[in-house]
Chains A and B, each alone.
Chain A
């Protein structure tokens, strides 16, 4: 909220800070946005000139990310988290309250430029919602009283730094600890393990442990590291995917907040094993509030010779970590889109092969791992494969952190051995009268009570960690609609089925929700949905129809009760469509109306 610095000076500083490197374009743009609440043509021109990039490409990057704008946003840029769980705890009503109180319409900036209001995808605070962001700072546990307080702070132009700290308090909420969170990890122990025992030993240990990626895909970690280690290259890269964007998950946020030392330990371990000298933590913009602490943790580790040159005295073991911020794009959780974003570009998933392990960041062999995976790897290097395999199932060794939210008494982070049943989890978190559980976020599955005996495991219900609970009083279609909207908002737009199909599905679903659909519409949703699933370019598209296809299969009743009995209903209200013509002609007689609004 600086008003008296010039765009030119700030942009020039940012360009210097990021070494005039076009690969750092996104980080430069984020800096400009945060300083001036928008990215002006002056800034774009300057950046285009200094980085020798076409202006339209820079604008294309701005246009891709939700948190970058060419139009001026308010001094206070407020975005309400719009996940279904936030909605269930009253976020929409609070947004309405705020809009009335501040006299600003949702999706707009107030005329005096003081405030913008809008919605954003899940901010990762499902256990302490309704949540929001104000200029990238996380607001939690919102209530009507807090909304009133925030409105006053804004009207009095109180700088964010002077707002009461309790508004920004984020609690850890760890409700159940198991193997990972109960065991110790001495600082430097995992790095010492690779230095003293060698990369091959560590890889064997990881292989034996059966560790698989915790982000959802479940690729074998040892295999990924080995592919990268074996790829011919002078430089290799370790990337931690901290773009925890799956609606309803927040366990990585807790790990970043309370276990960052273990994460960096895991990244350095990976660097030691694969021979990487560069590391990146790709941090979602919603977790910007963690940035300073994470930077300090990195500095502590440099001071302790756990990062930097000749780590732990091992000549030639050079490795350091930079933090890059995201800017509001769920797709950047997909590893190749994340790499594009790290390179300062639009987050479009790459064509594979080549896979990142052979050609990743700037064409260098790159390991991309989830926060939880890297921590688990560090723990395995120290405590051993046997320790890790003491929990879990044959195909899913170890434990899984779950982010539990929605209708239950004790939302929060739960660490469970793989193989735990939905039933057991619901008992532990105090969920009663449950209608459905959404496992693995919108991209996952909506599980009905008849399947609550099923287990969290790669071989059954595979998940990155999101678990949202809906009781019998909830209208499941609201959740399905929320998820369909989410995919429309987050589709990158590259491939036809995901770009267009998600919007067509959204329109049909709205027809169902508004009570105008027939069985024809359901059939059409199945057709469109299966094309989106089968022909999309990446995992986002392949799963984007899941909320609709899955709920039609598992909860047919919520659809059938909404259907009209007629065989055909128009996609729009014909009578309403005539309204403009009636206004122009000044007619409003019976002949100027179509009865019933349709054929």
Chain B
């Protein structure tokens, strides 16, 4: 007999060792998320998947599923909290959707639409960040990085290259490239790496094919992320 937990009143089956997010994804229940990608060990950092478990606030991606768990996911209060968290991510970096090539196929933008975030509202931090175009095939725009560490995890755990790392602390936390110059072009990075295909936003982008999908035909143009799923899942390696 399989075990069940309850998400928004619905019974969801789960297997031993699964998280609430695992169970939800398997059952087709959408819990907004950015740093989570089922191919990698959970990270628990973006906090977009905050739910309440028996009234207690928990991140679904790192909370073990349990038979007595009554989970609330799609509530007004949690959606409001997610909007604030999204606004924090938007004001932390420099996200100019209209000019961004990833617009329409960006997970940050898609989750923001799904949660009903209309404007950043919070004080913009306008950080000074670089664009690294040193690599022949892939560019990094650090302005758009949301510190999900998926590229760090992919390069370390799948590619075995450790091309990316995190430096700094607190609001000064930032993504860095492991090479003598700190430039991507001088690192072991290759366009075929897993790390080149996991970025949920427009921070790591392939060169030589800019804006090739017209507006109206982009990933989330017709259906919301709750139906389409993650950006990384659409990547054709």
Contacts and interface: CB of A to CB of B under 8 A. Distances in A.
Interface of A: 54-57, 59-60, 63-66, 329, 346, 351, 353, 488-497, 499-504, 507-508, 524, 527-528, 531, 534-537, 571
Contact of B122 (A55, A65, A504): A504
B167 A496 contact: no
B81 A531 contact: yes
A23 B168 CA distance: 20
B76 to A, nearest CB: 14
Contacts of B10: none
B62 A504 contact: no
Contacts of A492: 169-170, 173
Contacts of A534: 50, 57, 81
B165 A57 contact: yes
27 contacts: A56-B167, A56-B176, A56-B177, A56-B178, A56-B179, A59-B176, A60-B167, A346-B169, A353-B64, A490-B170, A492-B169, A492-B170, A496-B85, A496-B88, A496-B89, A497-B47, A499-B173, A500-B91, A500-B171, A502-B171, A504-B88, A507-B123, A535-B47, A535-B59, A535-B81, A537-B44, A537-B47
Contact of A504 (B123, B178, B180): B123
Q: Identify which of A55, A329, A489, A502 gathers the most chain B CB atoms within 10 Å of its CB.
A: A55
Given A54-B165, A60-B165, A499 B170 contact: yes
B92 interface: yes
A493 B173 contact: yes
Contacts of B84: 527-528, 531
A346 B170 contact: no
Given A534-B57, A536-B47, A571-B123, A56 B164 contact: yes
Contacts of A63: 167-169
Overall SS of chain A's interface: helix
B81 A59 contact: no
Given A56-B178, A534-B57, A497 B88 contact: yes
Given A351-B42, A496-B48, 15 more contacts: A56-B165, A57-B165, A59-B167, A64-B168, A494-B45, A495-B45, A495-B47, A496-B89, A500-B91, A503-B171, A504-B88, A504-B123, A528-B122, A534-B50, A535-B47
B216 interface: no
Q: Which 10 A-B pairs have the closest CB atoms?
A: A493-B173, A56-B178, A56-B165, A500-B88, A63-B167, A491-B170, A54-B162, A503-B171, A531-B84, A60-B167
A353 B168 CA distance: 26
A54 B178 CA distance: 7
B200 to A, nearest CB: 13
A55 B88 CA distance: 31
Contacts of B59: 535, 537
A55 B169 contact: no
